Amino acid sequence: MNTPTSPSFRPLYDQIKILITQSLIAGEWRPGDAIPSEIDLAGRFKVSQGTVRKAIDELAAENILIRRQGKGTFVASHSQERSSTRFLRIARDDGITEYPSSRLLSVTRERAPEHTARLLDLRTGASIFCIKRLLSFEGVPRIFDEIHVPASTFKGLDEAMIRNFPGSLYSFFETHFGIAMIRAEEHIKAVPAGAAESELLQVVPQSPLLRVDRVAFTYGDRPVEWRRGLCHTERFSYVTEMS
């Protein structure tokens, strides 16, 4: 029951949000797809168009759906040009937008240590993939990434697949595994460059690097990626906004 006074009360539009999210989790509509029109959804969920509208409004505000007047409402995708850089916050100090090129270093299968398992909501020792890569701007290496994902969620992932894929990593995850990243939390520190990093990023050992730890989530706030990026911030900055 969901009477207005019951303790588990949720407004209708919030319940619709959950129902839409469940369809996204189930893969009924995949990234890039159009979802049914507001009127269709209103009929399906037996509520008014205005209530569906409010639910979609909130999902659009969370960048999970994208509204396009006259065309319809679409499932947000990292394959779209507009959001290809949504999760990349490193930018040139001079303001010029430049897309980094990626060099894949390795893809290995490993057992999740306790720390990683906790972040990804797995059992310690669960099978994970570890992807290492180097991002370069203008040919200059700037970011060394170590990316960890559960093997169970990304069955069959291998180096060749990534290498042959033209787009971003998150776009790759979407098209090959149907996993859409919708949110991420980052913890940032300043750390001295170790031996491996200083070699890869071509900096002297011990020089300051930005260490960006990220946990990324898919629909239903399920963590599906944990990565550590080491970033050489000469002429580049991590840019963020708050309000």
Partner DNA sequence: TATGTTATATCTTATATAAGTTATATGTTA
Partner DNA sequence: TAACATATAACTTATATAAGATATAACATA
Q: Please give the residue ranges that form the binding site for a copy of itself (CB under 8 A).
A: 61-63, 86-87, 89, 93, 182-192, 206-210, 213, 231, 233, 236-243
Phi and psi at 129, nearest 5°, equal -100, 140
Q: Which amino acid is at 242?
A: M
Instruction: Evaluate whether 215 touches 223 at the Cβ level (below 8 Å).
Output: yes
d(Cα 106, Cα 186) in Å, to the nearest integer?
23
> Smallest distance from the beta carbon of 197 to a copy of itself, in angstroms?
12
To which residue do tokens 């937008």 refer?
A: 97
Question: Which two structure tokens, joined as six digits, stand for 75?
Answer: 């499932």
By the 8 A CB rule, do 176 and 161 touch?
A: yes
State the residues that interact with DNA by CB under 7 A: 3-5, 9, 11-14, 37-40, 47-51, 53-54, 56, 67-73
Minimum Å gap between C-beta 78 and a copy of itself is 12
How would you classify the pairing of strands 183-192 and 140-150? unpaired
From the list DNA, a copy of itself, none, which binds 166 (C-beta under 5 to 8 Å, kind-based)? Answer: none
- Min separation Cβ 242 and DNA, Å: 22
Minimum distance from CB of 41 to DNA (Å)? Answer: 8
What, of a copy of itself, DNA, none, does residue 161 touch, CB below 5 to 8 Å by kind? none
Query: What does 85 bind: DNA, a copy of itself, none (CB cut-off 5 to 8 Å by kind)?
Result: none
